[in-house]
Each structure stands twice: as structure tokens, then as C-alpha cells.
Amino acid sequence: MQQAIAFGRASSLGLVALILSVLVLPAAAPAADVNEVLVGMQRALGSGKDMRAVFRLEMSNAGGETVHWAGAYYRRGEPDTRTRLVFESPIDLRGTDVSVRRGGDGTNHVRVYLPGLRRVREIDGDMRGEAFIGTDFNYEDLGLQQLDYQQHSLLGDVEQSGRDCYQLESTPQRGWWYGRIVRYIDKKNSLPLRTEYYDRGSVLWKVRTIDEVKIIASFATPTSITMRTLPTGTSTRITLSEVQYNTGLADVLFEGP
């Protein structure tokens, strides 16, 4: 009789323990919202009211030959988003000026000043997919991409470069130079650590990676970015140094020549 009572008590205690263990299990994390992930990415890429830095471009061909360019980089955030690159070397590119302004309709307006020709070239919507001065980046890459014109879906959670990331796919709603884009967005700093660009035939065309991130003025700052064009075997790396945030860049600095 005593054994039966003891067994009954043990069974009751076990049941109570099981119920309590279920009640205190951590709730499943809510699914990430694709729009919130993208907004976080845009904020991370546009940190600070403004930024200035020294940039260096390194272009490599399939044979391993490299070319180096350098200059000054300026960026200002919303509401009047602008970017400007002024080349200082090599000699034949010195004074070349590339300015990008984000319009009220969300499109990027690109203006290129070529000192050798003493003329300004305006890059319209149909030309923004062109290679930026022969690099693997295009003119659209110089500004924030037009996310409003794309359909987005969250593919899941993955690991990229040892970091937990959201894998997100974007498909243009209208004619574009990319058929679809797959991004791997860091869950902690919201930076797109890897971006895959597929052509309209769904063949992987380009891959952009953020190779180095430094904390500067409390902002996670990409200081080395590489774009690779797979069919040609070429690549372009841009590195930033002497990065400064919130220095109060004047309007005249973005007017260009």
C-alpha cells in the first residue's frame, strides 16, 4: 500500500514537472518582417547625417592584372540624399567627378563630369545599369537601390561569413538590368554581407561581398566591398579609409563642377 502511494506521488510530481517545463519554455521568436529587414538595411548603409572618406578602387581582370584608382568620397543622408566621388589618381582621371542625387520619386540621378572632355554627362534611367567607368560596379550601385520597384520575400535564416543572416530575394516589378537579387543581411548590424545578382535568365551574374566591417563613431561601417562579375572573371574592390561621420558637409560640396 505504501509503495502504491509513493508511486502515485512520484507520478503526480512528474506530471507537475512536465506541465511546468512546458509553461516555461521560451516562446518562438516572431517571424521577421521583410519590410523591416529592408528598412534596417537601408539605415545601416546610410548611417549618420553625413560621411566623408578616402576611397581606393582596385580592379582585377581574369589574368590577375590590377589597376588602382583613388580619391575622395562624400555622402549625405536624408532628406536630400547625395553621394559624390572625386578622383585624384591616376593622372588621366584626376578631377573626374561623379555625383548621385536621390530624387523625390526614389530614383537616382547620376551626373558625371569628365575634365578631359570638359563636359558633363547625365546618366538617365536606361543607362544606370552601365559599368561605372569600366569597373564591375554599375552607376545604380553608387546609390541606394530602388527597393520600391521590387517584390521581396524572406527565404529563411542562413549563416554567411560566420554570421547569422536573413536570406532575402528581390524581384523587379518592371524592366531592370537584374532579373532577381538575393541578399544575405546580417541580423545584428543589418548590413548585406553578400548580394547575388542574377540575370533575366536566372543565371548568377555578379556577386558583391562586404569583406570588412569596422565600428567607427558607433556605426558598423563597411570599409572593404568587392563586386565580382562571374562570366568575365573580373572584380573591383573599393576600400574606405579616414572615415568621418557627421562633419556637417556643406551643400556646395555636392554641387560639383
On whether residue 67 sits in a domain, the answer given is yes
On whether residue 20 sits in a domain, the answer given is no
CB-CB contact of 101 with 108 (8 Å): yes
SS (H, E, C) 145-195: CCHHHEEEEEEEEEEECCEEEEEEEEEECCCCCCCEEEEEEECCCCCEEEE
For residue 181, give its domain range.
34-245
**Is the pLDDT assigned to residue 5 strictly greater than 60?**
no
Q: How many CB atoms lie within 10 A of CB 34?
A: 17
Q: What is the pTM of this model?
A: 0.81
Question: 16-27: b or e for each residue (b if 16 or more CB lie within 10 Å)?
Answer: eeeeeeeeeeee
On whether residue 148 sits in a domain, the answer given is yes
In degrees, rounded to 5, the angle at the alpha carbon of residue 76 between the alpha carbons of residues 44 and 74 is 100
**Is the pLDDT assigned to residue 147 strictly greater than 60?**
yes
On whether residue 252 sits in a domain, the answer given is no
Residue whose C-alpha is closest to residue 107's, from 88, 90, 126: 126
pLDDT of residue 30: 55
Which residues share a beta bridge with 55? 71, 240
On whether residue 127 sits in a domain, the answer given is yes
**Is the pLDDT assigned to residue 213 strictly greater than 80?**
yes
On whether residue 216 sits in a domain, the answer given is yes
What residues contact residue 256 under an 8 Å CB cut-off, 6+ apart?
84, 97, 99, 111, 113
Most confident listed range (94-103, 145-154, 155-164, 168-177) = 155-164
We report the CATH number of the domain holding residue 153 as 2.50.20.10
**Is the pLDDT assigned to residue 247 strictly greater than 60?**
yes
Please name the helix (run of DSSP H) or strand (run of DSSP E) that holds residue 88, with its range, or none. Answer: strand 82-89
pLDDT of residue 89: 94
pLDDT of residue 140: 61
Q: How many CB atoms lie within 10 A of CB 118?
A: 8
Please name the helix (run of DSSP H) or strand (run of DSSP E) that holds residue 206, with its range, or none. Answer: strand 204-216
State the total domains in the chain: 1
> Tens of pLDDT along 22-74?
344 444 445 679 989 999 998 898 899 999 999 999 999 999 999 999 999 99
> Tens of pLDDT along 165-209?
999 999 887 656 788 899 999 999 999 999 999 988 899 999 999
